[in-house]
Structure 1
C-alpha cells in the first residue's frame, strides 16, 4: 500500500491519510469544505461548500497522480437532503461528462458544521502492484 496526503486538501487532523492506494485502487478519505491554508469553513451555502469540497478532492487526486476521470465511485453525505439539487448542480459541472457511481444520503451532523462530506474510490489502469 502507498499513502498520500495533500497540502491542497488541508492538514490531516487524525490517524488517517487523505488517500491510500492498494494496487490499482485508491481510497480517498472524506473531504469537507475547509480551506486548506487556514482550516476555516468556506461558504454558507451548499453550492459554495460543494465547490470547496470538490477542490479539496481534486488536490488529493493530484497528489496521488490522478484526475477526475479516475474516480469510479463517490459517497456523499448531506446534512439536509433539501440541499440535493444545489449540490448536484455543482457536482455535475465539476464532473463534466465523467459519471462515476455515486451514493448520496442524509447525515445528521458533519464536523465543523459542514453541510456535506464526500469520499471517493478511484482506479488507475496499469499501476504497478504494491
Structure 2
C-alpha cells in the first residue's frame, strides 16, 4: 500500500512540475534561481571596504547603512542629529542614483539612532524625504561607527518601465 501511495504522489508531483513549465514555470524557476550581485562602491575611497554598498537580487537592492558623513571630506557633518540625518539621506540618494533608482523606490528602511531622544528630530527630516512612507524599523544602539548619531539602511525595488 505504501508503494502505491508513493507512486501516486510521485505521478502527481511530476504532473504539477510539467504544468508549471507549460504555464510559465520557466519564469518561476528563473525568479527562484537569481544570483546576488555584490556591487562595489562608486566611491574610490570605499573600494577596499569589507562590505558592498549594494547587493542586488533581481530587482531588489539592499543598501548598506549610511551615516551622516560628507564623502568629500570623509568626516561627519556638523550640526547634530538634524544635519547628520539629512546627510545620511543624501548619501542614500547618491547610491540609489548610481544604480538608476530614486527615494520613491525605497520600500523598507532600518534606522539606528545613537540616542532614542533624537527620534522626533530625526523623524521630522525623514518624513520630508519619504512621503510614500516605506516600512521602517527604528531603534537605538549604544554607539555607531565613527561616532555618528544615526545610521540608515534601505531596501529598494527597481520597477520595470
- State how far apart, in whole Å, the 2-side matches of 1:113 and 1:87 are: 16
* Cα pair 2:67 2:150 within 8 Å, conserved: yes
Taking the aligned partners of 2:42 and 2:151, their CA distance within structure 1 comes to 17
Q: Between Structure 1 and Structure 2, how many residues are aligned?
A: 125
* Secondary structure, aligned partner of 2:100: coil
In the TM superposition, what is the alpha-carbon distance from 1:120 to its structure 2 partner?
0.5
Measure, in 2, the Cα distance between the counterparts of 1:107 and 1:56. 21
> Quick one: which of 17, 23, 26 aligns to 2:61?
26
Larger of the two Rg values belongs to structure: 2
Could you say which residue in structure 2 is the equivalent of 1:56?
A: 91
Q: TM-score, normalised by structure 1?
A: 0.88
Question: 1:38: how far off?
Answer: 1.5
The change in CA–CA distance for 1:12 and 1:88 in structure 2 (over 3 A counts) is: farther
Structure 1 residue matching 2:52: 3-state secondary structure? coil
Q: Is the 8 A contact 1:32 1:116 kept in 2?
A: yes
Q: Is 2:158 the partner of 1:124? A: yes
1:52 Cα deviation (Å)? 0.5
**Mapped contact 1:76–1:119 kept (Cα < 8 A):** yes
Secondary structure in 1 matching 2:63: strand
CA contact (8 A) 2:40 2:47 kept: no
Larger relative contact order (CA 8 Å, sep ≥ 6): 1
- Could you say what secondary structure the match of 1:126 adopts? coil
1:104-119 to 2 correspondences below 5 Å: 104-119=138-153
TM-score, normalised to structure 2, is 0.72
Structure 2 gap segments, 5+ residues each: 1-35
Q: Distance in 2 between matches of 1:76 and 1:12?
A: 24
Report the RMSD for the aligned CA atoms in angstroms: 1.9
